[in-house]
Amino acid sequence: MKTIKGPALFLAQFAGDAAPFNSWDSITKWAADCGYKGVQVPSWDARLIDLDKAASSKDYCDTFKGQAAENGVEVTELSTHLQGQLVAVHPAYDTAFDGFADPSVHGNPKARQEWAVDQVKKALTASKNMRIGAHATFSGALAWPYIYPWPQRPAGLVETAFDELAARWLPILNHAEECGVDVCYEIHPGEDLHDGITYEMFLERTGNHARANMLYDPSHYVLQCLDYLDNLDIYKDRIKMFHVKDAEFNPTGRQGVYSGYQPWVDRAGRFRSLGDGQVDFKAIFSKLSAMDFDGWAVVEWECCLKHPEDGAREGAKFVSDHIIRVTERAFDDFADGGTDEAANRKMLGID
């Protein structure tokens, strides 16, 4: 068993143009002041990191990590959620997702995809330069507009989508292997990898690639009515990253999983600050500790009600209180009488 590392904080929801959220130096000081020991970094946010320099200069990476350490936190992982999304975009979402990319590739899906692939590869190289073994991302989606089969999906449509998705990711996964970094897909509605079945469909098409792993976030499973504890048992060998995020699902006679196009505050399924939702984190931390999870407990704050700074400070304490310092010996070792093979055979009545 292993003691989970943490608490850490994903900085994507906090980076901004006002202090202390507008620079690497000030935001890491703020995170440490909140009680965090680590931070997960959105690689697309130039206010916090220069991804090109991180991919090309180990000196830059050493300085980047060193400044964080001086301020009291460790760099846990880099993230390419936004760039990973652009590796595969259905045309229905072209306009909406253009904003995730560099302006030079807006309106040009092929160039945007090439830019996105290059971005994810750079982030993997930067992870190698920082001696970080896991990387967070999204898979993107080609089949998502067809999630509900009406009209009936043509035969082979989903299979073709997943063949293409795997073909686009295989060069990235191979680069990840060269870097010694696990690609951890956040299993998330809106992505083609949104549950266990779709992850397995993708994994099969990548030849069960050793670097195609999972970011476990129970909040997305609550909103799908998926058994998030059973999911841990099924995929324990593939779960390499953990987002600690709470959620609640309260269906009514008017709305359920799809929530009638309502804003977050009026949805049956809502993300909540830690401790305010329905996720059984005691069970999750127990399972992760027992299965030798060797990663960080990273708070991803998303809540439709609570102020983010309150959620961040409460989240650090919440995670600290849930991390289990695992025991190094059995609780009943005091009663060990000491035996050997001969004694064991005698106890069993074996001559």
**Span 25-71, pLDDT tens digits:** 999 999 999 999 999 999 999 999 999 999 999 999 999 999 999 99
- Nearest by Cα to 247 from 170, 323, 301: 301
For residues 268 and 251, is the Cβ–Cβ distance under 8 A?
Answer: yes
Name the pLDDT band for 337 (thresholds 50, 70, 90). Answer: low
CATH number of the domain that residue 145 is part of: 3.20.20.150
Q: DSSP letters of 2-41?
A: -PPEEEEEE-TTT--SSTTSSSHHHHHHHHHHHT-SEEEE
pLDDT tens figures, 174-204: 999 999 999 999 999 999 999 999 999 999 9
The pLDDT > 70 percentage for the chain reads: 98
How many domains would you assign to the chain? 1
| 8 Å CB contact between 4 and 294 | no
If you average pLDDT over residues 233-256, what whole number do you get?
98
> Any residues with CB less than 8 A from the CB of 152 and at least 6 apart, and which?
none
Q: Nearest 5 degrees, angle CA 258-CA 261-CA 265?
A: 95
pLDDT over 70 at 105, yes or no = yes
pLDDT, position 98: 97
Domain, as residue range, for 45: 5-347
Provide the whole-model pTM: 0.94
* Average pLDDT over every residue of 110-134: 98
Would you say residue 331 has pLDDT above 70? no
**pLDDT-based confidence at 342, cuts 50/70/90?**
confident
Q: Which residues contact 292 (CB under 8 A, 6 or more apart)?
A: 1, 2
Predicted confidence band at 345 (pLDDT cuts at 50, 70, 90)? confident
CA angle 105, 110, 113 (to 5 degrees): 75
